[in-house]
Structure 1
C-alpha cells in the first residue's frame, strides 16, 4: 500500500494522511459505476474506493443532451476511470463543454490532465462529438470557435496548490454567485463555500433546486474541514437554499435535509469535545481528547489522524468562544 500525504493544514493534523485501500468502509451502500440520477445528471464513479473516498470520487456529467459539463475529474492517471468516462460519453453521444473542479484535493483535481488528454485523443481519432466547443455556444466558454483539436476548458476557484496537483493545466477562475449556462434548461450557480478547503465550491442546479456539494457534504458519512468556523458558515449558507436533493463528492445521493443533519452533528461533536475537556482534571492533549470523543465509534485506523484534526480545529473555535484555552503546545483546559 502506498501512503499519500496531501498537505498539513493545521498544527494538529494532516488533513489528508491516508492509506489507499482497495476496500471502502463497511456498511456503505454499493453504487453502480454509472448511474443516471435525473434528466440532467449522470454520476460516473471515480474507481478509487477507500476509507476517506468512500465508494470513490463522484464525478458528474451535467446538462441537457447533448451538451454537458464534467464536475471533477477523480485521481491522477486512473485508467479505469478514464475508460469508464470515455465509454459513458461515447455511448450517450454527449458533448463535453467544460470541466468544473470543486476544490484542489487530488481526488477531485488530480485527474484533470488525464481527462483532457483523453478528450484530445478522442477528438483526433475522429469522435468529434466529444469536445468543448465544436460549433456550439455556451456562456461558460465565452466563444464558439471550432478548434483544430479538442481543448476542453477547466474552471475552478483559484488556489495556490492548483499548479502542484495539476501542473500545466490552464484554468479559468470562477467567482462566487457566477452563473454557468451549461445548456438550454440547465444553469449552475457557483457558491464559494470555504471550510473543507479555502477554495471549495458547491454548485446549485437551479432547474432542480439540487446541490452539488463536493466534500462540504458527503453521502452516508461525515466530512472534514480545514477551517471549522468557515465550514459552519458555509453549511448555514447551504441550508438557506433548502435544496431538495444533494449530489455529494463522495457517497450516495442525499435529500436536502442532510445539511441540517450535518449542522446538528457538528454541534453535537463540538459539545462532546467541550464535555471531554471539562471532564479532565488537568490539561489534556488532542490525541487523548480524540480517543475520548470517538471511543464508541470504532474509528477506522486510516481516519484517526483526520479525527485528531477535527478535534484540534474545534478546540480553536472553543478558544475563540472563550470556553477553552491552550496551556502549552497541543494541551488544553476548559475555562
Structure 2
C-alpha cells in the first residue's frame, strides 16, 4: 500500500511547523529549489527568523541544504551538529566559510517559546542525535525512527541501545526526518526492538544448530530468508552482517577468517 502523501508545508502544533523557523531541524539536500521556496514562504508567513540550524546527522539529505540557507534565508544562524566518532573521517561536509558548533549529549538550545534537548543516539550514524521539546512531550527522531518502515544503521549494537534510550523518554509523538508523524511511538519503538531481536534469535538458532560449522553471511541468509527472492539475498546478507558484528561484540559468536573469507561460528563458551 502506498504511503500517505505528506503536505509540503504543515503546521503541526502551536510551536511546531514541519519546515521549522527559529530552530530549523535539518536542512534537506543541497540545491533543492522546491524545498528552498517552501521554506522561504513559511519564514515570510510566520515572520520567523532562523537562529539555529541543528543537523541530526551528516547524511547529505539532512546537511546538504545548510550551504543554500546560510547567509540567505538564514542570515546569521548558528549551525549545530554532533561530532562523529574519532574513527570516522573528519567532518568536512560544509565549506570552511560555515562554522560548525559541536553539540553534546544533554545540551539544551532555547529560543522564545521553545527549548529542545539533545540526545546522542548513535547507530544510524555515529554522530546521530534526536531532540526532545520541553514544552511538549514530543521527540524529533531524525533517521533513528521513520514514519514508515524500519531504519537502516551503521552499527546495530549502538542502534539498539539508542532505541532503548528513546523508549525511556516516553514521547507522546515522534516527528521523523522522513515519513508521516508517529502518533503511537511506544508501539513503534517496541516493534523496532522486537523486529531486530527476532532476527537476531533466528541467526543464533542457525549457528547453534550448525555449531560444528563456520558459516558465511550468505549461508545464514539461505537458512533464514527462505521466502525472500534470491536477487534480494545480497541486501539480506548486509543486514545479517550487522547482526553478526553485534553478536561478536557480545561474545555470542566467533568471527573467523578462513582462506581470506569471513565466517562465523556459535560460541559454545558464551553461557547463553
Normalised-by-shorter TM-score class: 0.7 to 0.9
Query: Corresponding residue for 1:272?
Result: 202
Deviation at 1:297? 5.8
1:283-322 aligned within 5 A: 283-290=214-221, 292-296=223-227, 305=235, 307-322=236-251
Deviations 1:105-148 (A, max 9, x none): 111111110122542xxxxxxxxxxx5xxxxxxxxxxxxxxxxx
The Cα shift of 1:279 comes to 5.2
- How many angstroms does 1:191 deviate by? 0.6
Determine the C-alpha separation between the residues in 2 that align with 1:288 and 1:251. Answer: 34
Alignment partners' CA distance in 2, 1:180 and 1:276: 47
Answering whether residue 169 of structure 2 is matched by residue 237 of structure 1, we say: no
The alpha carbon displacement at 1:157 in A equals 0.8
Structure 2: state its 5+ residue gaps.
268-272
TM-score for both structures, normalised by structure 1: 0.69
Does 2:260 match 1:331?
Answer: no
Correspondence for 1:256 among 185, 189, 192:
185
What is the match of residue 193 of structure 1? 121
Deviation string 1:39-78 (CA, Å, 9 cap, x unpaired) is 111114xxxxxxxxxxxxxxxx16xxxxx21100111222
In structure 2, relative to structure 1, the CA distance for the partners of 1:110 and 1:161 (3 Å cut) is farther
Q: Taking structure 2 as the reference length, what is the TM-score of the superposition?
A: 0.84
Change (3 A) 1:97 1:268: same
Shift of 1:320: 3.1
For residues 265-294 of structure 1, the C-alpha deviation after alignment (integer angstroms, 9 at most, x for no partner) is 221121122234445584332234345544
Q: When you count strand as a share of all residues, which structure comes out higher? A: 1
* Distance apart, 1:158 and its partner CA: 1.8
Contact 2:51 2:76 in 1 (8 A): no
- CA deviations on 1:185-228 (whole Å, 9 max, x unpaired) are x1101111111111111101111111111111111211122222
Distance 2:109 2:18 in 1: 19
Moved more, 221-230 or 287-296: 287-296
User: In the TM superposition, what is the alpha-carbon distance from 1:80 to its structure 2 partner?
Assistant: 1.9
Alpha-carbon separation, structure 2, partners of 1:193 and 1:312: 21
The 5-angstrom pairing of residues 37-48 of structure 1 reads 37-44=12-19
Which is worse superposed, 91-100 or 287-296?
A: 287-296
Partner of 2:105: 176
